[in-house]
Amino acid sequence: MTGAAGEGFVVGVDSGGSGLRVALARPGDGSGTVLETQASKEPVPTGPGGIDAGQLLGRLLPTVDAMVVRAGGGSVLAVAVGAAGMATLGDRLRAELPGALGAAWGVRRLALAADAVTAYAGALGQRPGAVVAGGTGLIALGTDLSGWRRADGWGHLLGDCGSGAWIGRAGLEAAMRAHDGRRGGSTALLARAEARFGPADGLPAALYPRTDRPAVLASFAPDVAAAAGSGDPVAGGILAGAGRHIAEAAAAVLPDGSAGGAGAGGEVAFTGGLFRIGEPLLGPLRAELGTLAPAVREVPAAGDPLAGAVTIAAALARGTLRLPEDPRLLQLTR
């Protein structure tokens, strides 16, 4: 399937722990006009060889073929796949997708991106700046359009500071401190922890064997936010600490010259479900960022990672992609 940019379609893909989403779009002016989106809550599995390319293709190809038929038929001009774990687990995707998509659709323009890159493109498009994507985990990514800067995204054992898992773990620690009678505990968080997970002394056995431990930790973050909203000072302090960590990650990836100095400026956007916690998190975050990077402007995220994948695919189809290539973060085939 080949054709001129105005006659065909582009495909954006968002693959992560919450499932697989696929969008069919027209390239338009280079940002993409979405015609249809399909979503599945079943994630693409990851095995010893990394993200399972066969499973992804087995679901992607028939989904897109059906959408193209419903859109009246035409060629697929470019595809952008954003995947959680692409940087470290994407070897099979990088090895297999270019040939498979070329054989299926004749498409030669392909972008394979880390989900942080599609989150960036969804939030800021192709402008220089910084984006923090926060949910169960947390990663900050910035670019001056010549290269990428990354901060955190190292998982719940080594980092993801300020993330949902980080907040939940800190809240559960405060609950256990209250259970033991140690300083720094919160009886409000202890009550919420036992309501959610059962008796406190059974929590280690319930938590440690779980393979989805980050998600379980993050499930307690809304309880921490609720306790903070009810005036619990320990919960409020946890959210304030999370905000400061997030500001540090954002400041670390700002393009050179953005963090301070006369006339320095830049844009930063925050995207992901973590930021729905609201003012108890965002207030300390903005205060710390104002200290670390006083000239930086916070802007609303324009779209989500699927929108970012569509933006990348549309720009690739039209030859207007300005986001920098990177062997792990954004690999292009043209």
Residues 12-36 pLDDT 10s: 999 887 789 999 999 986 677 899 9
Q: Tell me the mean pLDDT in the region 205-230.
A: 92
pLDDT higher than threshold 90 for residue 85? no
- Decide if pLDDT at 243 tops 90: yes
pLDDT value at 130 more than 90: yes
What average pLDDT does the segment 79-104 reach? Answer: 89
| pLDDT interval class at 147 (50, 70, 90) | very high
Decide the pairing of beta strands 109-114 and 76-83: parallel
Instruction: Give this prediction's pTM.
Output: 0.87
Cα angle at 136 between 206 and 311, to 5 degrees? 150
Q: Is the pLDDT of residue 47 over 70?
A: yes
What residue type is assigned to position 270 of the chain?
F
How distant, in Å, are the alpha carbons of 13, 14, 117, 155, 304 from that of 19? 11, 8, 18, 19, 14
The whole-number average pLDDT for the span 240-258 is 90
Is residue 19 classed as helix, strand or coil in its secondary structure? Answer: strand
Task: Give strand pairing partners of 143.
Answer: 129, 148
Question: Once rounded to an integer, what is the mean pLDDT over residues 148-154?
Answer: 92
For β-strands 129-134 and 109-114, DSSP reports them as unpaired
